[in-house]
Structure 1
């Protein structure tokens, strides 16, 4: 039975929410104030027909909007969309009893995302399809345009489909191409290839390498193992240039990365020694080393090696000491942080509760928290505030445009 529903707000995942006697109903691709007619199953609206439109609704720019699982907020005008992201950060802090100045959300322009995860599947006619998963489904939506992506990535889609084809040789393989635009060209790491049956055959590897050559890839790797490298894939972190390890983490948008780095560097000005924890390959470490000597740590040995090589080849940097260390199993202690006046930490989505406790007990006077999850950030922030830090400011960063995903940079001072 179809129901008429009025959307009253947007939930944390960006779906519209209608309050009903049976509980909240979540309706994707809707906005507050809209009236819809839909089938309701297990608290979700399906087969939605909008009866009224919000004045904040705008025309989406992607031809795949509504089918593709990405860009779920592309129909929302920029100002209220960015304000909603700021409000999500405020709510996360409020749940932990925290209040502070929250800056306006830093916007990211379309066409600037340098990283994509493209799924490859065999089409009904044998053609290789490349794209993203449909909303709440394993079905693949073939993508021919992507307004969030760097246009150089989009232009490479046909060549990347050719590169993907050899990885489909086993019927159980579901390859994903992790594609990154670097200073020296495209870097592609492929995951999701069936391994129990022996993995990619020698013939498949050769066909993939040949296709990578025709596509002029800088590097092609399979689950982090290099298959071919025409040129080292390189990115710049501050004054240093590093060669990305295969499959390494990299911020999705250079614009968002620059906004986060600028705020971190400004916050630690005057510090005589800095620690950068969960440092990866040096996104923050190398710019921070223009300010003071840096102690860096991350679980990725390959990332630490790339960071060290980049620091050694750069000029004008203060000394960098870098250690491959699992900060969840072995967080840096106050003794390890002795002499450190400022700490920058950028953990994964789960946050870094135990490492935060060690930072709180250290002698650091400034802490910069970078996070991709406001909820775990707020939990960790509570630890610092309880230890005598003041949460000075939080800046939301809209790195993943038109999604519910929120990045942030926060500054704490004793």
Structure 2
């Protein structure tokens, strides 16, 4: 056995691979339950979604194995090429793509197979971002470096937004966590959080009440900490003025900057409107399904919400409600626990890397998977608007499963060769 073979068999993080396989199998069985057809009961019936998902899983394992057999240096060297190809595909899909569910996000490949370039843009963007940030003399705190890194993230975001695919666009915003890990000030994240809080508050609460509350908070901070610190006083006053200005911009931005279908979905989540037979139907049925599962669930293939197709898109966007209904709270905790374990494992892998390129890429993987899991599950239980993004490794679909497999297995390959990687 040569050194390369020993590296493949002994250095791969097999714990992460086992978590990956567990999630894939859970997804396969839940897709079977979500779209079960009594005329096609065999889970390996390739005319059904669950039969096709089995093929997707097998092909994903082949893709993962090929990645593990690649030379690690190629991944960094080819990062610009991967990025350019996916950007070109994102541009092509705007012109010649197929519209599915209101999004022109698919390329027909023939034989009933469709490719979604936005899924593959995620790992390509992570690779190029890691390559750039790991270069010598590049620091996130430097304005030029920050703008270039932001541009790498923003270009695919813009093209995906034009499809329009709001869910995938939002996922790319999670890469701000990578920049934070590489030195971006925590104040930047605090400002983003405050702006989000002010935006929601301005929609729910009287504007003048918010302004009075802000003035009171600033006055208290000035009294406690601002007596001898002129810079602190100036910062608070400027922040207060900008916050008040932002509050008055919220409603014009909301009512004129968002499309009607986007507003009604947000209104539904915030409780500003209730339309359980219209825009709120999907989430209401999803919550009923999850709640009806109680502690232990109704049992495999026994979910009534699932069996009678009350929840639309149940094998993709709302696959988690199948977990909740048939496997109950206990099954949901197991799935969430697997995701938590996977994310912690990815962060651990990222932190033990010798090469900055590998570490940065690892945090990109963690950010994207974390964002997908949080948004998808929050959407299923009614805490976020319906924006249509898959649950990693569990939702039905080849493009989604393959892209997440590539995303994860590239990290596993980089980790398996970490002791020999001193470049980047």
What band does the TM-score fall into relative to the shorter chain? under 0.3
TM-score, scaled relative to structure 2: 0.25
Would you tell me which structure has more helix in proportion to its own residues?
Answer: 2
TM-score, scaled relative to structure 1: 0.25
